Each structure stands twice: as C-alpha cells, then as structure tokens.
Amino acid sequence: MKQEPQVLYIPMGVKPEAEWFPGFGKQQLAQAILGSTIAVALAVLLWFIKGSVPLAVVTFLTGVSASIMMTTKDRNNLSVLDQVRFMIRFMKTQKVYPYRAMAEWHWKEQKKP
C-alpha cells in the first residue's frame, strides 16, 4: 500500500501564548511593569528634586505609555525593545575579519616539479 507523504501545516497568525491585545501578552506585561516601575522611580525623584507635581505626573504617564509601546510586538513578532537588543548585540560582534592567505590545496603544491 502506497503512503502519501505527510505535510506539516502551520496556519499563519497563530500565537504560541495568549495575548490581551495583539502583540501584548504575559512576557510583554512583565517588561512593561518593569519599565513602569522605573518611570515611577524617575517621577518620584523629579518630584523630590523639583517639587513639581505636574512634571512628575507627565514623567510617569510618558514612562508608562512608552514602556507599553516599546514592548508591544508587531505582526512580525518584533518589538522596539527587541530591535534595540539586536542592534546592541550587532554592535558588539566582530565586523573585521583579518586573515592570511595560505595554500588552499596542498596536493597541488606536492605535484609541482
């Protein structure tokens, strides 16, 4: 009996984890909470230094919205934070590859008279 080859079908747009809205799931929530915590600390620090409540509130709201926007993934499954990480990793990699030209085929050198 002849068997047909099985073809693996992966539908497009299926996400491996649940999301609250497109591109924002549990992992992005944790990253956004961390960014929001930093925004709160910065807002409190500005409030103590300057004594300005509106400046602290604007700093807090800007930090929270920026952290959510930076962690939300697009349809290519990349976020701004991922792009920055990739750029930093690329900057750290080696980009100059110095080498010495050496004999590539040793058997050719042996056959020469």
- pTM of model > 0.75: no
pLDDT bracket for residue 1 (50, 70, 90) = low
- 5 against 49, higher pLDDT: 49
Average pLDDT over residues 66-84: 88
Write the burial class of residue 32 (CB in 10 Å: 0-12 exposed, 13-18 middle, 19+ buried).
buried
